[in-house]
Amino acid sequence: MSHVIDVESLSVEFNINNQFFKAVRDVSFYIDSGETLGLVGESGCGKSVTSLAILQLLTKSARIHGQVQYGGNDLLLLGSDQMRKIRGNEISMIFQEPMTSLNPVYTIGAQIAEALLLHKNISRKEANRLAVELLHKVGIPRPNEILKDYPHQLSGGMRQRVMISIAMSCNPKLLIADEPTTALDVTIQAQILELMRQISDDFNTSILMITHDLGVVAETCDRVAVMYAGRIVEQGKVDDIFFHPQHPYTKGLLNAIPKIDAETKRRLEPISGNVPSLTRMPAGCAFAPRCPMVMDKCRTDLPDLIPIDDGHYSRCWLNNLKEDSQ
């Protein structure tokens, strides 16, 4: 079965003081039709840069290498006119902060209609009618009135629903959601996640869910790619990642989550230190300075992403040692 999108050896470099530094390093993953892949990791790990590179939305100072196969084409080789036909039509994106993503001087109706008029051969009257339908589908009350409002007149949850309605206006094959529940209270967050599940089920839409919240991953994703310092360090099905994590970084993320059903009280175990700077990336495994299980080899040599089980991969020398002993 062909994948909806296949990212192969994607790398992104930025020019900092006339030197290029890699923010994304040799990243590969795929998403099948109707599947949701979670891309997780701390802030600064390269998740958002990966998504922006896929859609060619990075600044001109960025250098992108690798391939992004979609619909028989490499998206990284397409011109700006060809990409405009795909963005918002076949591949849509929900950006991280709806207040800055929505234009403050245009009404909600005008912003939803814009995507429809750009990609569909319809009249403005028909675009307005569809805009009302879209707002109704995402659970916004009084859609006819909301169309006339401006972004600042809506709550955070309402703005996020508007962003989703814009992203889904042309029934895309792939939806990229960059931290879609950031800064929302837990009730609204649950409603947004349920809405996205419903969209995936109703339209067989594939979703790339970018988040640092493993609770969101557990609720919405089929597979997970764990990212650290620009590389994927572990990848597998949700159950593999949550119940059989192999990489120390994945284990650290899981140990830092409060568990309300724990039988005994225990202190949370934060991961010490910070994600390394692009300009000061350590040799070998980038997680070595923070890893509680670090070996000398980790500080000098980069491990490969090796198979653990069917569809489950980990980039750790401990896993390589297990493989060698078998």
101-124 pLDDT, tens per residue? Answer: 899 999 999 999 998 998 988 999
25-62 pLDDT, tens per residue? Answer: 999 999 999 999 999 999 889 999 999 999 999 988 89
Bridge partners for 36 per DSSP: 207
In this prediction, residue 65 has a pLDDT band, given cuts at 50, 70 and 90, of very high
178-233 pLDDT, tens per residue? Answer: 988 876 788 888 888 888 888 888 889 999 999 988 888 988 999 999 999 999 99
Cβ-Cβ contacts under 8 Å for 290 (sequence gap 6 or more): 249, 252, 271, 272, 273
Cβ(175)–Cβ(199) below 8 Å: yes
Q: What are the extents of the domains in the chain?
A: 252-326
In this prediction, residue 323 has a pLDDT band, given cuts at 50, 70 and 90, of low
Q: How much is the pLDDT for 20? A: 92
Predicted confidence (pLDDT) at residue 326 exceeds the cutoff of 80: no
Helix (H) or strand (E) holding 201: helix 186-203
pTM of this prediction?
0.92
CA-angle at 64, arms to 83 and 6, nearest 5°: 65
Q: Of 54, 35, 70, 56, whose CA–CA distance to 207 is shortest? A: 35
Residue 165 CB-density burial (10 A; 0-12 exposed, 13-18 middle, 19+ buried): buried
Cβ(232)–Cβ(29) below 8 Å: yes
